[in-house]
Amino acid sequence: MPDVASPFPLDAELVFRARPVRVAGRLTLEGASGQISYRYHLSDGAGAPVLVEQASGRFALLRPFPPAADPKTSGNAILVGNERYTLVGVRKLTMLDALGMISGATPNASLLLSGMFEGPAGTLMRELVPGSNRQVYYLVKPLGKGDLLSAEAHAAAREAARRAAGERDDD
């Protein structure tokens, strides 16, 4: 396997935008050129799960479309209401492992096709399993630095901020 950033393990305690969550599920996916990505199903036990993809050292939030959204496909474009998203690339992803709770097109599939589309509201991803008629749509939003941290890293950042504030008060 190529050298990649360490994934968060199943049941790891994380902080997503100041909200404590845990890794309830993780997919390991390999792209056609050997790149490894991880998809996390994060849960706080109360609200809807949060889906995050880690690829090339970056994180992106995957917001699933509600079934009633009913995007329309037209050639190399997807229409969502009056918004047009144009195909910019396709990823062929092989599932290497699936741990815990899995969300998405089909958790038991060994291969996913993931089309990336660009439009006025950003990036849209359409995912499907070859041979299946089920498609899942996500709005993809890059996460900022500090949006997703391990519980330990979050505590260390808070302590550093507390110390820095204390030093400013001493001046």
- 3 within a domain of the structure (yes/no): no
Look at residues 162, 154, 159, 156 and name the one whose alpha carbon lies nearest to residue 14: 154
Per residue in 119-154, pLDDT (tens digit) is 988 999 999 888 887 788 999 999 998 899 999 988
Domain count, the chain: 1
- 94 within a domain of the structure (yes/no): yes
- 5 within a domain of the structure (yes/no): no
- 6 within a domain of the structure (yes/no): no
Q: How far apart are CA 55 and CA 93, in angstroms?
A: 12
Dihedral, CA atoms, 59, 23, 99, 64, nearest 10 degrees? -60
- 57 within a domain of the structure (yes/no): yes
Range of the domain at 105: 13-170
Whole-model pTM? 0.85
Residue 159 class from Cβ within 10 Å (0-12 exposed, 13-18 middle, 19+ buried)? exposed
- 4 within a domain of the structure (yes/no): no
- 7 within a domain of the structure (yes/no): no
Per residue in 8-58, pLDDT (tens digit) is 999 999 999 989 999 999 999 999 999 999 999 999 988 788 999 999 889
- 60 within a domain of the structure (yes/no): yes
